[in-house]
Amino acid sequence: MTAARDLSVDFCGVKFKNPFMLASSPVSNTGEMVGRAFDAGWAGVAFKTIATGDTKIIHPSPRMHGYNAGDKKLLGLQNVEQVSDRSLKDNLADVTNLKKEWPEHVVMASIMGFSNKEWSDLAKACTDAGADILELNFSCPHMTVEGSGYKVGQANELITRFTETVKKATNIPVVAKMTPNITDMNEPAMFAKKGGADGISAINTIRGISEVGINDWIPRPNVGGKGAISGYSGPAIKPVGLRFIAEMAQNKELGLPLSGIGGIETWVDALEYILVGAATVQVTTGIIHYGYKIVEDMIEGLQDYMADKNIKKVSDLIGKALPNLCDTNKFDLKRQGLAEYDLTRCVGCGQCYTVCQDAGGQALKWNSIDRRPDLDEDKCLSCMICSFVCPVDGMITYREKR
């Protein structure tokens, strides 16, 4: 037994019991759902994006499509989900009720307006309803109207203008949620800061096509015979999310707290985001795949990790990997290594041999009698692809040459 560690963390001046939040998405659609998530252990929610309700939202059918890779289901998820299709009144009532029933939990209301006035009205309404933070949705990946969704996130002046508008209308912290469908996120993030943003959430989904029907020639999801390029999420995009968070965390001029999003399913994923600079993390696809219960393992896993490493608080972990992140021209090329084989554990499949022959340095010979690889150390490129395909965990390791 390890003692339960305090996982509380500060984000934009608001205290979270732990860094784990629901992202603004179908998993945070109603107060009833969010209440169950809070009971399961989630510390906060980015409540499903609230709009004025002046335009009726009709969701496409079907609205999602799963991407499976080999035996891994939902490696990715594509969606054409819109903002909340519920009435403004119902959403605001849910925010109020959640804060009443779960005062220790954080409600960050995600909002999206189509004009200065709408942004202002929504900010006021959500603040009055009791939200702790506002998250400005500058990043919905499949909006078609100019000046909305990711098209705001790609237009720096609009980011500043809408952020300023919201800041004027509220006294609670304001977080800008950014789109990854750009080259450098630091640029729009700085424009958000200029408008007064108190923090940044990233990433929203990446525009993509998860599958193309090979018999009907219709990209998925097949919405009445048509597909669309739209938001792609899940474990497949985690490396991209980590990159954007790390780049913003390295930007000393920005200096805003970050909420990491993208492909998080376990405490390890969450911790990686924290180590490159996130204070909180948000989850959708992991919940779509497994349900709210995964937070139990995120909490317990992070607590045990902190106990093992004797780390007192989550904030001590934020950005801890950043000093070790550099450009490739900073590498010490004098340090070289090779693949080391523990052949006592080898099961004789020979996949290492195949990939070394066809993609590596042809450094392995194959002993077909014993069914074992035989490494010529001088030829090993230390590319380590053999270790990636080896089915025996830890049998092939990297060793630095001395």
Buried-state track 169-205, b at ≥16 Cβ within 10 A, e below 16: bbebbbbbbbbbbbeebbebbbbbbebebbbbbbbbb
Exactly one of 10, 250, 343, 366 binds other proteins (CB under 8 A); which one? 366
Tokens coding 235: 């474990």
Tokens coding 28: 């945070």
Closer CB to other proteins, 116 or 367, in the complex: 367
Tokens coding 322: 């950043």
Tell me the window of 77-85, 92-100, 272-280, 347-355 that interacts with other proteins (CB under 8 A).
347-355
Q: Which helix (H) or strand (E) holds 247?
A: helix 238-250
Binding mask 166-205 for other proteins (x = CB under 8 A): ----------------------------------------
Residues within window 15-74 making contact with other proteins, judged by CB under 8 A: 70-71
Are 244 and 94 a contacting pair, CB within 8 Å?
Answer: no
Closer CB to other proteins, 19 or 235, in the complex: 235
- Amino acid type, 214: I
Residues within window 272-311 making contact with other proteins, judged by CB under 8 A: none
Distance (Å) of CA 91 to CA 53, 112, 248, 292 = 10, 13, 32, 21
Tell me the window of 32-40, 264-272, 277-285, 343-351 that interacts with other proteins (CB under 8 A).
343-351
Binding mask 370-389 for other proteins (x = CB under 8 A): -x------------------
CB of 368 to other proteins, least distance (A): 6
Q: Which helix (H) or strand (E) holds 258?
A: strand 258-261
In sequence order, what are the residues at sequence separation of 6 or more whose Cβ sits closer than 8 angstroms to the Cβ of residue 307?
2, 3, 5
Closer CB to other proteins, 71 or 308, in the complex: 71
Exactly one of 50, 350, 387, 396 binds other proteins (CB under 8 A); which one? 350
Under rule CB under 8 A, residue 155 binds other proteins: no
Whole-angstrom distance, CA of residue 57 vs CA of residue 36: 25
Under rule CB under 8 A, residue 347 binds other proteins: yes
CB of 347 to other proteins, least distance (A): 3
Count the residues of the shown chain that bind other proteins, applying the rule CB under 8 A.
15
Distance of CA 258 to the CA centre of its chain: 11
Closer CB to other proteins, 367 or 382, in the complex: 367
Distance (Å) of CA 227 to CA 75, 131, 217, 231 = 20, 36, 10, 12
DSSP E strands: which ranges in 54-164?
Answer: 64-69, 72-79, 106-111, 133-137
CB of 349 to other proteins, least distance (A): 4
- Amino acid type, 243: R
Q: Which helix (H) or strand (E) holds 94?
A: helix 88-101
Let me know if 383 is a catalytic residue.
no
Under rule CB under 8 A, residue 349 binds other proteins: yes
CB of 363 to other proteins, least distance (A): 15
Under rule CB under 8 A, residue 351 binds other proteins: yes
Tell me the window of 130-138, 279-287, 341-349, 376-384 that interacts with other proteins (CB under 8 A).
341-349
Whole-angstrom distance, CA of residue 250 vs CA of residue 247: 5
Residue in 12, 140, 352, 390 annotated catalytic: 140
Tell me the window of 95-103, 125-133, 148-156, 366-374 that interacts with other proteins (CB under 8 A).
366-374
- Amino acid type, 230: S
Are 391 and 347 a contacting pair, CB within 8 Å?
Answer: yes
CB of 65 to other proteins, least distance (A): 18
Closer CB to other proteins, 13 or 213, in the complex: 213
CB of 68 to other proteins, least distance (A): 10
CB of 280 to other proteins, least distance (A): 36
Instruction: List residues bridging with 278 in a β-sheet.
Output: 258
Cα maximum dimension of the chain: 77
Residues that bind other proteins (CB under 8 A): 70-71, 346-351, 353-354, 366, 368, 371, 391-392
Annotated active-site positions, please?
Answer: 140
